[in-house]
Amino acid sequence: MSTSRSRHRRLRAALTAASMGLATAVASLALPVALTAPQASAAGATELYLVTMDGPGLAAAPPGPATEIARWRIRAEQEALLARVGATQPVYRYSTALNGLALRLTAAEARDLVTAPGVALVEEAQVRRLAGRDLADDPARLSPGGARRGGQGVVVGLVDTGLDPDTPLFSATARVSRGARDRAPSCMPEPAWGPGWCTDKVVAGHWFVAGFGVDRLASRATLAPVDDVGHGTQVASIAAGNADVPVRVRGNEIGRYAGIAPDAQVAVYKACWTAPDPADDGCSTADLVAAIDRAVADGVDVLNLSVAGPPTLDTVELALLGAAEADVVVVAAAGGDAVGGTAHSSPWVTTVGAGTGTVRRGEVRLGGGTRLLGAMSSPGEPVRARVVRAADAAARGASRAAARRCEPGSLDTSVVAERVVLCERGGVGRVDKSQTVAEADGVGMVLVNTGAGDLSADLHAVPTVHLGADDGRRLMSWAASHPRGRVILSARPVTRAVPRVLEWSSTGSPAAAYPKPDVVAPGDGVLGAVPGGQGWQFLGGTSAAAAWVSGTAARLRAERGWSAAATRSAMVTTAEPLPAGVLDAGAGRVRVQAVDSPGLVLGVDPTDYRDWLDGERLGLNTPALVVRGEGTLTRTVTNVGRRARYFSTSAVGFDRHDVSVTPAAVRLGPGESARITVRVTRGEGTQEDGAVLLRGGAGTRTRLPLLVTR
């Protein structure tokens, strides 16, 4: 019996045990595997299941007769499975990223399929949340976009909430058009997807809702690739929004915008939806797999998935494996506050955590020269005006509590007009509060935390400074004792935050086969466009960070034409190290300006991933390393420079373990490769992380993060 078949049989056996309620572990598998058991349900009741067949889909198949034979084989296998359960039509057929079906089954039928010949995985469809943080509570600081150029000829696929392309950020430009492919993904105009929106910039638009269910949609949801939420448009803006687009707030231009890869094309795959109750919003795994399957068939170069998930191998991860086999750079969000590891822990995905970005601060100046520092992104001249506590300005019929929080319609214009209003956080969104002040003719706002919380430099309807709880109490007390007091609100220069990983960004598991996350990128409020002509908002979370890295990958593929594995290697090995460990920060913060000069890259043949998963390969040539106790690892590095260079090797950052790298130096010509060996021979048994460093004669530094654990 082949190793692959043996693995699938073990997996099916584990799934069967789990379906009978047994506590079963599959310790021999290289990755933690989702042991999804068909749940008990009413007799005859059906649920939506994802069924994955053994072997790959058509993602890596070369064109020709062999591919057509494989296509017919996949179809025959799927038909045989449908016949086994007496089904006529599945909800979805998957044939590119993987070979599988989404279909409605009873619990008994699902249990039967778990042990059916040729079936690798059966799991019930789930609805997952986007990996962005709630705009009402996440920190928001104005972050710069990318350069004026980059990404020409590369297609970035975005599996998200859709896109509103009716903005200059997604119009066809001369550079985008010159880089357009002869063969591009399909983009079909629809009634809700306006004429002219399919351009050289927006080259695909598809939507997938059968898994989520049309009957579960909110009334504002649109059955088209158009974005109802804003998340997908913001993610696309960050990754590939056009360059030199003015950012205007209240009639003032505060800068010019560019995505990280402004000349890249975008392909839209809407698989995330809104429900009547926002708590039910999300993305069905059935729709996500369908979107990934279509994106791979369309031939995207980079695939962005800003959707959270479990730290286990499931159908979504297997679909992303198919994308990697098609030489797609797969970028996914690590998620926030995950327990037991990041989302997307598989080695074929570039998993991105969230770090700090740039900071815009402001101050409130009181009489007597007292200055209170907070967050502010308001452009223009300082605001000088009398101050009023919102609680003292309640409109007729509004409660004092509603006024204190500046809820819509709660403020009395006769009191608020021409004043700076002190509003407490909570109840409604931060920007909603400043809109309430603006509608009551106020000229400014100070937003005050009532407890521990972040400070956020939002784009408000009136100039606003956001203060912490202690300074907020001081200001409230001062205003109460100075009823005719005047304050000055003013912005301070933009600075870069101390680079660090944000506390809510998911961390990796020391038990994982390869350390995660791979890298971090700005995730504390990155500027992007929002739909419906509403201008600009900030996106926080690992969604924003993943979009940043997707844009970086698009720039690099356009500039160097490297494989997906080499592109990923360059982003990891040139990252800026952070004080946090490998399981918090991965290799560190992605550096957009450094990725095209890594000196050395580590390549992975796309077929190696499945061989490793099936147990036919012991390890992968990834840039991230892990040694358990004592052991030896090897990696193959390739010179991607234009000249022959010497590269020295060393291990750095280890105090409690003996780590050595051989050979001490290698000389490589352009395109030549060499193998290095990393040995951990002694340690105190505690976890420690550092790096393997390869210094090139031209000043390059190729840094491989290394985790030594028990």
Mean pLDDT along residues 408-428: 95
Element holding 681 (H helix, E strand): strand 673-683
Mean pLDDT along residues 488-505: 81
Cβ(99)–Cβ(77) under 8 Å? yes
- Is the pLDDT at 347 greater than 60, yes or no? yes
Cβ(689)–Cβ(626) under 8 Å? no
Quick one: CA torsion of 228, 229, 232, 233, rounded to 10 degrees?
Answer: 80
Q: How far is CA 34 from CA 4, 305, 309, 322, 465, in A?
A: 18, 19, 11, 18, 46
pLDDT of 196 reads 77
Do residue 384 and residue 320 come from a single domain? no
- As given in the structure block, the two tokens for residue 485 are 């007091």
pLDDT digits (tens, 9 = 90+) for 648-667: 999 999 988 999 999 999 99
Residue 657, domain CATH: 2.60.40.10
Looking at the domain assignment, is residue 594 inside a domain?
A: no
Do residue 367 and residue 459 come from a single domain? yes
Catalytic entry in 160, 263, 301, 518: 160
Name residue 703's beta-bridge partners: 693
- Is the pLDDT at 90 greater than 80, yes or no? yes
Identify the domain boundary among 504, 525, 555. 555
pLDDT digits (tens, 9 = 90+) for 560-586: 999 999 999 999 999 999 988 899 999
Looking at the domain assignment, is residue 580 inside a domain?
A: no
Do residue 90 and residue 161 come from a single domain? no
Do residue 210 and residue 336 come from a single domain? yes
Residue 89, domain CATH: 3.30.70.80
E strands, 390-533, in order: 419-424, 444-448, 464-467, 486-491, 495-496, 519-522, 524-529
Q: What is the 3-state secondary structure (H, E, C) of 592-638?
A: CCCCCCCCEECCCCHHHHHHHHCCCCCCCCCCCEEEECCEEEEEEEE
pLDDT of 357 reads 72
Do residue 438 and residue 529 come from a single domain? no
- Is the pLDDT at 359 greater than 80, yes or no? no
- Is the pLDDT at 176 greater than 50, yes or no? yes
Looking at the domain assignment, is residue 599 inside a domain?
A: no
Who contacts 317 (Cβ-Cβ below 8 Å, separation ≥6)? 309, 344, 346, 349
Do residue 100 and residue 25 come from a single domain? yes
- Judged by average pLDDT, the poorest of 56-65, 184-193, 402-411, 649-658 is 184-193
Do residue 111 and residue 221 come from a single domain? no
pLDDT band of 254, cuts 50, 70, 90: low
Looking at the domain assignment, is residue 602 inside a domain?
A: no
* Angle at alpha carbon of residue 690, lines to 686 and 693, rounded to 5°: 150
For residue 275, the Cα-to-chain-centroid distance in whole angstroms is 22
Q: Give the number of other CB atoms < 10 A from CB of residue 276.
A: 13
Is 231 a residue of the active site? yes
Is 377 a residue of the active site? no
- What is the DSSP secondary-structure string of 26-83? -TTSSS-B--PPPPP-STT--EEEEEEESS--STTPPSSHHHHHHHHHHHHHHHHHHH
pLDDT band of 240, cuts 50, 70, 90: very high
pLDDT of 631 reads 92
Catalytic entry in 8, 206, 231, 466: 231
pLDDT of 528 reads 85
- As given in the structure block, the two tokens for residue 279 are 């708590």
How many whole angstroms separate alpha carbon 260 and alpha carbon 49? 38
pLDDT of 132 reads 65
How many whole angstroms separate alpha carbon 649 and alpha carbon 668? 13
Looking at the domain assignment, is residue 20 inside a domain?
A: yes
**Residue 544 Rama label (left phi>0; alpha psi -120 to 50; beta):** alpha
Do residue 488 and residue 546 come from a single domain? no
How many whole angstroms separate alpha carbon 286 and alpha carbon 47? 12
pLDDT of 499 reads 80
Looking at the domain assignment, is residue 641 inside a domain?
A: yes
pLDDT of 654 reads 92
For residue 338, the Cα-to-chain-centroid distance in whole angstroms is 14
pLDDT of 368 reads 78
Is 482 a residue of the active site? no
pLDDT band of 534, cuts 50, 70, 90: low
Which of the given ranges, 135-139, 597-601, 686-690, has the highest pLDDT on average? 597-601
pLDDT of 36 reads 43
Share of residues in the chain with pLDDT > 70 (%): 88
Total of domains in the chain: 4
Quick one: CA torsion of 172, 175, 179, 181, rounded to 10 degrees?
Answer: 10
Element holding 285 (H helix, E strand): helix 285-298
pLDDT digits (tens, 9 = 90+) for 373-389: 988 876 668 999 999 99
pLDDT band of 533, cuts 50, 70, 90: low
Do residue 396 and residue 383 come from a single domain? yes
Identify the domain boundary among 108, 125, 142. 125
Give this prediction's pTM.
0.84
Do residue 48 and residue 141 come from a single domain? no
Looking at the domain assignment, is residue 424 inside a domain?
A: yes
Do residue 143 and residue 261 come from a single domain? yes
How many whole angstroms separate alpha carbon 542 and alpha carbon 697? 36
pLDDT band of 532, cuts 50, 70, 90: confident
Do residue 537 and residue 676 come from a single domain? no
Residue 282, domain CATH: 3.40.50.200
Mean pLDDT of the chain: 86
Looking at the domain assignment, is residue 146 inside a domain?
A: yes
Name residue 387's beta-bridge partners: 420
Catalytic entry in 378, 434, 456, 543: 543
Residue 425, domain CATH: 3.50.30.30
Element holding 85 (H helix, E strand): helix 65-85
- Is the pLDDT at 422 greater than 90, yes or no? yes
Cβ(454)–Cβ(139) under 8 Å? yes
Range of the domain at 486: 361-493
